[in-house]
Structure 1
Amino acid sequence: MTETFQPLQETDPAEVGGYRLAARLGAGGMGRVYLSHTEGGRPVAVKVVRPELADDPDFRKRFAREVRAARRVRGAYTAEVLDADPDCAQPWLATLYVPGPSLAQAVARRGPLPVPALLWLMAGTAEALRAIHAEGIVHRDLKPSNVLLASDGPRVIDFGIALAADATAHTATGHPLGTPAYMAPEQASLQQVTAATDVFALAQTAAFAALGSPLYGDGPGVDVLYRIIHSAPELTRLPEPLRPLLARCLATDPAARPAPAEIVDWCRQRLGADGAPAVWREIGVPEAEVPPPVP
């Protein structure tokens, strides 16, 4: 198997909710992710909740609510939620498998993306946010590891779902929910989170793809959050064509940020009618061979 697909271990289940597991895909804050297939042979990613979260009744309620909302999302640039069981002993959900690395992995391998690919990345991710927000969901944790790079464009994953796990771990301590380097000021200061919060995170994610590092720097989370709340971003390091849009997306006032639909139009106007497939191929993302279904 490639580094994308890791063999199952003795501690891994052979089957989850009728899905025979073929390989490990990775792990996150909520649990471990496996490769499986539908009965027709289509690859899916099955995320199994960690046991300590499964034992928390409040988590189960939040998880069930978030899954119901996420299953309504339909978008060309999202990984659709296909199936889930929030009530079983170890809750799980299954989404369409996206054959491609995360944005974080791609940048680590090849470095920053060229401007045309950045425009297509922003347009596709903004279109995904438009579909997510249409169902009343705020992602809250949009970041490079939650944007997968398929051969025909980006796919946004984990929309809304991360809230259930993060709330269980952090709400009682008063910590903000999300990943510090990609939070908006209102999120970092525990104020109201809205769809505009995701727009700020989209700009930070695009800036990472352009720079190869977080826009507000690295270091302890509390230091990064302080800079996000109190400091203006250093936009001169970013490619000049993107600065006007990113400056608006990174406005401290959420009301001053553009809506995802406006971001899509802005990027597409600069890409041209038929530039998207060509610029996306510049990234050169190789597709790994997916292991076959388990008999």
Structure 2
Amino acid sequence: MLGRLGEGGQGVVYLARNGGGELVTVKMLRGGIAAGHRARSRFAKEADAAQQVSGRHTARVLDADMTGDRPYIVSEFVEGPSLQQVVAGRGPLAGPRLRKAALRTAAALAAIHRAGIVHRDFKPGNVLLGPDGAKVIDFGVARTADAAPLTTGPVGTPAYMAPEQIEDEPVGPPADVFAWGATMVFAATGRPPFGTGPSAAVMRRVTSRRPDLGDMEGPLRDLAARCLDKNPAARPTASQIVRALRAGQAPAQRPRPTRIPRYRWRMMVALGAVVAAGFVLGILV
């Protein structure tokens, strides 16, 4: 162990050197032997999800142990700042740097989805810009696409959560695509498409307002707008994003199936009840 790199909701991350002299990261479950069954289960699922993904644009898992007093995951060390840090410290990306980051992160999501995994917390802080290009990290809230959720309520980072995540509806790969679109807006403009502030305010904007794409332009602007569609069925897939970026154009428009979010259904039912009550009251009077 060489030092502490940081910590998240369920683990502490250290910089270490393996037997071959290579730098690696070691994520240890917070609480160790005292951690509850739920925490251990989530940690094990993170390791399993990360090990299923293969690709040049995700940090590789090298080793993991869930049975000891201190469960841990050993991963490839990516030497470089996060996209969040780069944009905050040096300003938005532009030109080839932006296009490369967009392509590599989309390729990472495509690999994640091919493995049957949904990341569920794709954001600028989970994109590292290393010497070999952008790599996606942190599968802490990832799960298989067909698995039952481990937590109740929305999971993720509000500014990059899809409407279906906020509404606590079934979450699949389209939610990661929405987060990719929001992350690209941040990379290109320096701010997320639904602003900042209290979580409740940000989530309300995500579900009800159009995204602010700032001064983005060209095919990437069109692509980000498509990814930020409120309707998950209307968003392109990660593989379509990759092909579109390589071709330098937005993918063909997908059909827009009718989708009424759960909160709008509730509003419609409530309105219908009020109208019905007024009609009955009118008859009685």
TM-score (norm 1): 0.77
Q: Paired residue for 1:162?
A: 141
1:124 to partner: Cα distance: 0.3
2:192 corresponding residue in structure 1: 214
* 2:226 matches 1:233: no
Kindly report which structure 2 residues correspond to 1:108-257, keeping only aligned pairs within 5 A, or say none: 108-159=88-139, 161-163=140-142, 171=151, 174-257=152-235
The answer as to whether partners of 2:29 and 2:43 remain within 8 angstroms in 1 is no
2:214 and 2:33 map into 1 onto residues whose CA distance is: 43
What SS does structure 1 have at the residue aligned with 2:141? helix
Q: Which amino acid aligns with 1:69?
A: A
Q: Distance in 2 between matches of 1:112 and 1:238?
A: 11
Query: Equivalences for 1:9-24 in 2 at 5 Å?
Result: 21-24=1-4
Segments of structure 1 that go 5 or more residues without pairing to the other structure are 1-20, 165-169, 272-295
Name which one, 1 or 2, has greater alpha-carbon Rg. 2
CA contact (8 A) 1:122 1:263 kept: no
Aligned mates of 1:65, 1:146 — CA distance in 2: 18
The one-letter code sitting in structure 2 at the alignment partner of 1:95 is S
Quote the residue 2:257 is aligned against: none
1:57 equivalent to 2:69? Answer: no
The corresponding residue for 2:27 is: 47
Aligned in 2, Cα 1:138/1:53: closer, same or farther, shift over 3 Å? Answer: farther
Aligned match of 1:89 in 69, 75, 84?
A: 69
1:243, distance to aligned residue in structure 2 (A): 1.6
Tell me if the contact between 2:87 and 2:93 (Cα under 8 Å) persists in the aligned partners: yes
Task: Classify the secondary structure of the residue corresponding to 2:63.
Answer: strand
Partners of 1:86 and 1:181 lie apart in 2 by: 32
- Unaligned ranges ≥5, structure 2: 144-149, 250-285
Q: With CA pairs under 8 Å and 6+ residues apart, which has the higher RCO, 1 or 2?
A: 1
**Aligned-pair Cα RMSD in Å:** 2.0
| Count of residue pairs the alignment pairs up | 243
Aligned mates of 1:178, 1:86 — CA distance in 2: 24
Q: State the match for 1:3 in structure 2.
A: none
Runs of 4+ displaced beyond 6 Å:
none
1:288 counterpart residue number: none
> Cα offset for 1:261?
1.4
| Distance change >3 Å, CA 195–CA 264, structure 1 → 2 | same
Deviations 1:176-231 (A, max 9, x none): 10111110010111011001110000011111111112211111101100100111
Q: CA deviation at 1:53?
A: 9.4
| Distance in 2 separating the partners of 1:28 and 1:121 | 24
